[in-house]
Chain A
Amino acid sequence: MNKIMSAEQAIAQISDGMTVGIGGWGPRRKPMALIREILRSDLTDLTIVAYGGADVGMLCAAGKVKKVIFAFVSLDFIPLEPYFRQARQNGSIQVMEVDEGMLLLGLRAAAWKIPFIPTNVGLGTDVIKNNSDLAIIASPYDEKDWVAMPALKLDVSLVHVDKADTRGVCQIKGPDLYMDDWFARAAEVTIASCEDIVDSDYFSPSDEARHVHWERSETTTVVHLPCGAHPTSCAPFYGFDVAHFELYNATAKEGGFDHYRDTYIAGKDEQEYQEAVGGEDKIKSIPLPIY
């Protein structure tokens, strides 16, 4: 089986109104080249599930989004994502705002094909009050309230990984896989962009195989997009692009998203995007953040 596609072919699997999960975390290892491909498409009315960063901000700014299911949307060193903030303050998107862990439970429930997972997380807070479709249930084993966190079934998930083979074996060897394994399992179709395409034999040594976090049956499509996480990080290969995020953030105050999109994305393919932001060598020299 050969699962390799171009970014354009991969994104063509998404339809208007679908629920799309996005892997990574804030400014870290987001499948940004695939997001840029969505920005170039006519797609609309998407429901986005993410530990959000500029992926969510850009999609909101471009009018691609009907609803966001989130616990935060942040660029970390810039705490507030400027375009998500605008979309919220304009009231232009619907939301389901839940705890970070509830999001994880929702993905797990979808992956395990069960309708909900009981939890105490959210009790006593506005997460319950604001989400009227979030049910409080009784337990057969005690006399307490429990939150029934519903399965977050995804039509499509987008993730960015280090290495993949043509059959969809995906490796993330960086320090954290975040919740990417659960995004892959919760979705009908998982599209993985990768830094490198490798032969299947690459994974033969134990130390390589043990950094493969889900079975290839969970990966539908592989897209070769080196530096495809830019401007987010892909540790240990490159850090997030602080200067680019600052520039992006500044466009929210002056110029607007159209200016950003016209400068970097519209009418450009991924290679032209990377040239516009300084080229592959420059991206790969961006230092990793120190906390």
Chain B
Amino acid sequence: MTTTAAEYRLCELMICAAAETFRGNGEVLATGIGVIPRLAASLAMKSCNTDLMMTDSEAWMLSEPNAVSGRHFGEGQKQESWMGFSRIFDNVWGGKRHALVGPSQIDRFGQTNISALGGTYEQPKVQMLGVRGFPGNSISHANSFYVPAHSKRVFVEGECDVVCSIGYNAERLPRGYSFDDIDIRQVVTDLCVMDWQGPNHQLRLLTLHPGITVQQVIDNTGFAVHIGDEVTTTVGPTIDQIAIIASLDPVGIRHKQLADNPVGDRR
């Protein structure tokens, strides 16, 4: 059934929009960090790109994605190979991966931050996770971003406090590299879908979620967004997609990811 569902939640709209970023990727490891990104990658593997690969977030590659809720330990897990953390880097550096991650800050270059806020390297004001695998991911394979609350706190005016991932920034571009070596795909937020294919890799608005205006996107982004002529409305989930999402999340933890679990169509 390709009919759009009569009713759906914003979390489900975002899962479906983010799943689209994996369409046409071929055989790559799809990594979604967090409930909504993981459901997006899992939905993609069950629908628009059945060639995707996935792990159980621990040590095994799966031939079928695990449900994110309502599962007992090891229950129904369909493994196809071992994939310990050390081996993840063999995959990452080979480039056959597309990660969908939720940075705390994103700047106009597509650089991101999950490490720390404010202060200095010696003494940050707020210590967060550390750079984790972001530097290696960003220079090795495709990356997309998930932003649950589109705001100027995330889309910062200046550069990120700690630049954890390489972006489209000429000043930081290493010798011998071009922007073609960097592959930042899409940004899925609670307001819209964007990519980095505006003039000179400027952030570009692609689709607005139903009921959201261009002005809302502009007002909540700390830097200029390229608004093309062909901004459309984000396509709502189909009945089939909702059914797959429900089977991947039978308990419904997706409904607890966004404040007040908004409806998908805010017109």
Give the tally of cross-chain contacts (CB within 8 A).
149
Q: What is the bound-complex CA distance between A97 and B134, given in angstroms?
A: 12
The bracket for how many chain B residues form the interface is 35 or more
Q: Looking at the complex, which one of B56, B116, B140 makes contact with A121 (CB distance below 8 Å)?
A: B140
Looking at the complex, which of B164-172, B187-195, B203-211, B221-229 is the stretch in contact with chain A?
B164-172
Check B127–A89 contact: CB distance below 8 A. yes
Chain A residues with CB under 8 Å of B57's CB are 291
Check A88–B131 contact: CB distance below 8 A. no
Question: Which residues from 151 to 172 on chain B have a C-beta closer than 8 Å to any C-beta of chain A?
Answer: 162-167, 169, 172
Chain B residues with CB under 8 Å of A99's CB are 131-136
Cβ of A98 under 8 Å from chain B: yes
Check A125–B129 contact: CB distance below 8 A. no
Cβ of A14 under 8 Å from chain B: no
User: Within the complex, what minimum Cβ distance (angstroms) separates A172 from chain B?
Assistant: 10
Check B116–A88 contact: CB distance below 8 A. yes
User: Within the complex, what minimum Cβ distance (angstroms) separates B42 from chain A?
Assistant: 12
Check B72–A124 contact: CB distance below 8 A. no
Check A79–B124 contact: CB distance below 8 A. no
Chain A residues with CB under 8 Å of B122's CB are 91, 94-95
Cβ of B24 under 8 Å from chain A: no
A-B CB contact pairs (8 Å), 14 listed: A70-B130, A71-B130, A72-B129, A88-B127, A99-B132, A102-B136, A122-B136, A123-B177, A124-B163, A126-B115, A126-B162, A129-B163, A178-B84, A182-B86
B-binding residues in A (CB < 8 A): 25, 70-74, 79-80, 84-85, 88-91, 94-95, 97-102, 104, 120-127, 129-130, 136, 142-145, 175-179, 181-182, 287-288, 290-291
A-binding residues in B (CB < 8 A): 56-60, 66, 71-73, 82, 84-86, 89, 92-93, 111, 115-116, 119, 121-136, 138-140, 162-167, 169, 172-177, 182
